[in-house]
Structure 1
């Protein structure tokens, strides 16, 4: 499932992520962005990253937006994580879906997570919100399901 492709994140992403993590701690976000805290595969330290979970048929999912990103590789090494929103913390097990199961979820991504479309466009992964383009990312951008622990 894991692709060896790696896209360098934009220079500004680290700074935006820090702001998003700080805003998340305030508890202002009840829906939309959350912080996924994964264990570093080399350091063993907690590594927070903002994510935008989405729900389909009562299950929550998240798309690994940049192929080869550190948080995705950390999850692939250790799928146990913590999903944080404000003061709320939930321990989860992240299950990476096979390509065929990821395709229909990626098709729905531009509608369910419209804020993610611009991010994917800026990364050069898609040209717009066309579901066909997002479905074609299966195998490049992993999709994870949140399972409760």
Structure 2
């Protein structure tokens, strides 16, 4: 089965979310992740919704092979931003075995991500078994402070 493609409206919506975050309109919810473009070398930003498990922060790539995922795989040094607060981080991609238990918790900890991944055709609902089955297909990264 071919990987789903993002909907046409995602990039324009992401630009609005990034702008809203930068000027302080969005205080909770998504953060802005900035990674270095793997071919351009330019900073590339996207809104993400990190979640915390046992004191560590993680993010799930909502689309297999998404540009920001491939950029993070090529250069794991990144910056997380919320409002005016910038935090340099290193993104560590987890092997499927380590990702499975985190993916099981994702529908509980990031309920907004369920509808996103359901609309992408990756899951049918908030079933932890379906999310766990995405291990190895949807990247899971841990954020380490630098």
TM-score bucket (shorter structure): over 0.9
Counterpart contact for 2:4–2:121, Cα < 8 Å: no
Whether 1:132 aligns to 2:129 is: yes
Aligned equivalents of 1:136 and 1:6: distance in 2?
14
Counterpart contact for 1:54–1:61, Cα < 8 Å: yes
Alignment partner, residue 61 of structure 1 = 58
TM-score, normalized by length of structure 1? 0.94
TM-score, normalized by length of structure 2? 0.96
User: Which residue of 78, 82, 89 maps to 1:81?
Assistant: 78
Aligned equivalents of 2:88 and 2:16: distance in 1?
23
Alignment partner, residue 112 of structure 2 = 115
Measured after TM superposition, the shift of residue 30 of structure 1 is 3.7
Aligned equivalents of 1:14 and 1:77: distance in 2?
21
Runs of 4+ aligned structure 1 residues displaced above 6 Å come to none
Measured after TM superposition, the shift of residue 8 of structure 1 is 1.5
The unaligned stretches of length 5 or more in structure 1 are: none
Aligned residues: 145
Measured after TM superposition, the shift of residue 6 of structure 1 is 4.3
Counterpart contact for 1:33–1:52, Cα < 8 Å: yes
